[in-house]
Amino acid sequence: MNEAGRTKTPFLFAVNFEMSEGFFIENPLRQNHVLFDLNGITNAKQIPNAPMDFVFERYPESFETYEERFRCAMEALRAGETLLLNLTIKTPVETSLSLREIFERSQAKYRLYVPGKFVCFSPERFVMIRNGKIFSHPMKGTIDADLPNAAGRLLNDRKEVAEHEMITKLTRDDLGRVATKVKVNRYRYIDRLKTNNGTILQTSSEVEGTLPADYLLSLGTLFFKLLPAGSIAGTPREATLRIIRACEQQPRGFYSGVVGYFDGENLDSGVLIRFIEEENGKMYFRSGGGITIESQCESEYNEAIQKVYLPF
């Protein structure tokens, strides 16, 4: 990435949550093996969004199974080892669609399809670099849009307020590691996301910083200082990562990693959430949510399942 930044060579890249695996493709618009559409930059053909019949069934783990994982997280929170952590689940799903068909029909800001491995249709930006500025849009807080006064309930929920405040502070501190003049431009604005299970509302914020004039010379070094994404880890980062490993007891792989595209001047990247992976001929949907000391197990369980959807 550093060399490509210096030579202004376009590339596509992805790195997994554990930062143990990834890929790097120069001039990715010229290949059509790994398909992507990152905020409008794509190497994939446009597929008409015609109505189609499809099967999509989810088989979530039991509440009791989730409760054990949740209890593990709460013990760490009560002990003060973490203030916020992202807790995830792995849900078996059955669908009449292939991973590629899901990619082609998905409506999301950041889409990625790796044949035989996974498809992702993420609504969440990680960071964007444009004209010497770096931006991040941490997304925390979810509610069913059909609930009475859904937006008001989301914006005034004490747990959601605390969670979003912590993740915005973490993002501000992270950008401060690579940039100056870090500021929050917008705080807790609402995104509306359509799914096959209905519409959900989520809150995001926008954080901005100013990069050094020569940032392209060390683009990769700068970027990796920000990983893994705080919104799908927690705070403080290193302690929280240890707790996640203890509570989840399985690697996440590319789920909750990062994908990005550099066009030779600017870079945009997304968090690999809303993620379906393929293992031994079976499909699994990965989802989760932020846990704080205010969290209620049943609510967090329902939120994680609510995020198991197709975006069409």
Summarised one tens digit per residue, pLDDT across range 126-174 is 999 999 999 999 888 888 899 999 999 999 998 889 888 999 999 999 9
Q: Which residue has the tokens 């925390």?
A: 140
* Residue 171 covered by a domain: yes
Does 86 map to a domain?
yes
- 81 vs 194, more confident: 81
Residue 293 backbone dihedrals phi, psi, to 5 degrees: -60, -20
Please give the sequence-ordered ranges of beta strands (E in DSSP) within 151-281, or none if there are none: 180-195, 198-210, 234-235, 258-262, 267-271, 275-279
Whether 312 maps to a domain, the answer reads no
Q: Using one digit for the tens of pLDDT, what is the confidence trace for 92-116?
A: 999 999 999 999 999 899 999 999 9
pLDDT per position as a tens digit, 166-213: 999 999 999 999 999 999 999 999 988 888 778 889 999 999 999 999
Structural domain includes residue 208 = yes
Owning domain of residue 122: 2-306
Q: Is the pTM of this model over 0.85?
A: yes
301's tokens: 């369980």
Q: Is residue 112 situated within a structural domain?
A: yes
- The Cβ-side half-sphere exposure at 207, using a 13 Å CA radius, reads 23
Answer yes or no: are the C-beta atoms of 112 and 272 closer than 8 Å: yes
Q: Is 54 among the domain residues?
A: yes
Domain membership flag for residue 299: yes
Q: How many domains does the chain have?
A: 1
Whether residue 258 is contained in a domain is answered as yes
Is the predicted pLDDT of residue 50 greater than 70, yes or no?
no
Query: What are the Cα distances from residue 177, in Å, to 152, 191, 221?
Result: 34, 28, 12
CATH at 273: 3.60.120.10
